[in-house]
Structure 1
Amino acid sequence: MRAIVLKEFQELRRDRRTLALLIAMPLLLLVIFGYAANFTVDHLTVAVYGPSTHDVVKLIDDNAKLKGHLNVVTTEVDGTKADAKTELQDGKANVAIYASAASGSGSSDAGTLNADVYIDGSNLFAAQSAKTIFAQVQQQLTQQAAQAQAKAEQAQAQQGQQSQQGQQSQEQSNSGGSQSQAQASSAQTPTLTVTTLFNPDLKTSWVMIPAIIGLILTFIGTIITSIGLVREREAGTLEQLAVMPLRASSVVLGKITPYFLLACIDMALITVLGLLLFGVPFNGDPAIFIVGAALFLFVVLGLGVLISSVSKTTGQAIQLAFMVLLPQILLSGMIFPLSAMAAGVRWIGYCLPLTWFTMVSQGVMIRGAGWDSLWFPLVILAGMAVIIFGLAVVRLSRSISPVKQKHGGGDVASRPADTDRASDAQPTEAA
């Protein structure tokens, strides 16, 4: 038994990748769950529109608790309700407020505030936090209005007691009472009409299905594709790839094309089933979704080829693929909201392709966003596709170059000429 234990330790010492995985994975999980596992969104971006915009901003600035949770990013006095909804559709804010002109005597304040609050339901946890915050705001404003009305009624009662001292004081009391009555009538209860857009019932499935589509594509592209070249190496057929008169880029395209087509079929099936079984809406342009999915597939398929080119065995390829897949599940915003993560972990999430595809899929399917608001994540995905595909081509060229040298060296494109020269030399030798 002692010999077996020593043998296993020696095997682990030789397999440095497995040893590194055993040590690094627990530390990685601890850091990720420690800094990213947070469902509470404490900071919300707010856009304010309408005639009473300045009163809403003043209300937020004067309340330390609100100021700590709400960050006003856009103010527009001449804005309309349509502008407020468009701000949410474009994903520029978590909450949009349209503050109409205050009723009463022409001066607007928190006590006479009438506002429509629109919440982006596609960001599930931010929407839940926003509903809680604005319910507290409504309660606070109602209490302030009730206190103001109670003070006005108390002043009116005091004036009524003084009216018993004489006719003159009675007349003064009547005038004071009418003034107090006016104050009481002016202390109207403020109105905040909260509406959740795009996902009124805050259904989790509506938010998760667009992200799960990307997760399944990541699984197909990264894990399954990464096994491809490793099997070629283990089966000894990598030499056939090396001697073929093809560039490395052509080999990579040839390897990923079947998986690309299969992933496209899976994407279509998953999307249709999500729409039919879970009632997930599809409010946007399908062309945007198709372009985003195609770019994302090139990224994850390139990752799979890149992993397979640096792995010597199938086990190593699967280990590396899971190490690539795990952060994308936890840090892409699919489970834990990006806005609730620590800044450093959030930037790691921005480096993951699933983060940007989730923005595209949720934007198209739930919010119905257009090209003008989704061009940036599409450009990021395109850049990632170019970089990762280029790295996969370079790495594959290095992987098969020793095999080329073993079978004659040089460029494979020159082999026909070498063959011709060899055939020409044979008659001479025979002579």
Structure 2
Amino acid sequence: MNIEAGKTIPNFMVAKENYLSKDFLVREKENLWPQVWQVACREQEIPKPGDYVVYDIADDSIIVARNRDGAIVAYHNVCPHRGRRLATGCGTTNQFRCGFHGWTFDTNGKNILVQDRDDWKGALDCMQLDLHHVKVDSWGGFVFVNMNPDCEPLTEYLGVIPEYLGPYEFENMSFRWYMTLHLPANWKVALEAFIEGYHVAATHPQLLPYQGDDYSMSYAHGKHSNFGYPDAKSPIGMPSPRIKLEWPKDKRDGMLLFFTEYERQLKAIFTDRNHKAIEEKLKEIVPEDASAIEVMMAAIELGRQAAEEEGCGFPEKLTIEHIMMAGADWHVFPNCATLPWFDGALWYRSRPNGDDPDSCIFDIWSLKRYAKGQEPPIERQLHKSMDGVSAGQILDQDIANMGLVQKGMKSRAFKAAVTNPLQEVPVKNFHRTLEQYVMGQSRD
């Protein structure tokens, strides 16, 4: 497998125009979004025939639906008569009726009614009356769409991602919570806050006493990237070597603090079920003098037992060795990132907000394994302003950086971002791939 180490192209610079230029945004609309596979929704959002979700990206809008046979289909959300959009948001229907002149389409996108059709005296019979389909496919419970009819298959586009992330069984997770934010930053600025680990020590200093080693290594995998902690000098629950604190004598206290604080500050990646099991049972089954690794493995086992007791199951092929190999975080090009764990995950999706390069639409999905039939109803929170809104301490810290970065890049003294050659390979690989689509050129 060809994995590019961070030490290649050590002085990679990202021009600020990639984030600030309206011309670059227009080029993205023309050359990026119509050409790539991108996550439109989760299968969970459209479980029954007639269910649909509208996915908006730049100037395009796509309806993703279950047809009457239960198959997932997708088509452009525009009436071929006069161009009105047919649907918004999500819902359930057996047809899409244009609110302008009443043209109607079934859930396969086939036209089933033209009002006063005889006015055309048969001329419509040779015209395209149906909705224009887009390519659609699924992986891991995520529904991907691609507007290019000649695109490569999704499995080919994803490359090594199924190999690394398949064992987490995303398809067996459901929404724990779902938040959409309008943020004062370019969609790439927002996404990049979550595809590198270099920022953790400065942005999230409260995590360092129990985070474990926060020094990351990162890698490129074709279009996609990841980072992890392959040479970690301390495991989760222990202090980062960066702050030079002594390890607690009782390693169980550090592990409990880790899961308690992530549940309090984030409510994602690690589950409330996992936290409860550790809080109630860790000190019962693990001796006081256990090593940090023994405590971590016991915490994982308690999470497995709790999940299986609830009837949620546990990923059979996912081992701690695989987690170490897969790393902590993945960038799924172009606009998604994820941090997975045994029975939960955090997933981000970033999109431009209209024609404003200084604004984006940012989706945050906390996913968790539930017993079949016990999934909570989906509650989509939408916040068009962050005034009075909190996404939890950790995410609030990340979000606080975004607007300041967007403003700071406009300084006449700032020309380009300098990426860390070891810890920010995902940022470098992101823009190298992005420029290949947007500008038609490569910096290799």
Range of TM-score over shorter length: under 0.3
Greater RCO structure (CA 8 Å; 6+ sep): 2
Which protein has the larger Cα radius of gyration, Structure 1 or Structure 2?
Answer: 1
Higher fraction of strand? 2
Higher fraction of helix? 1
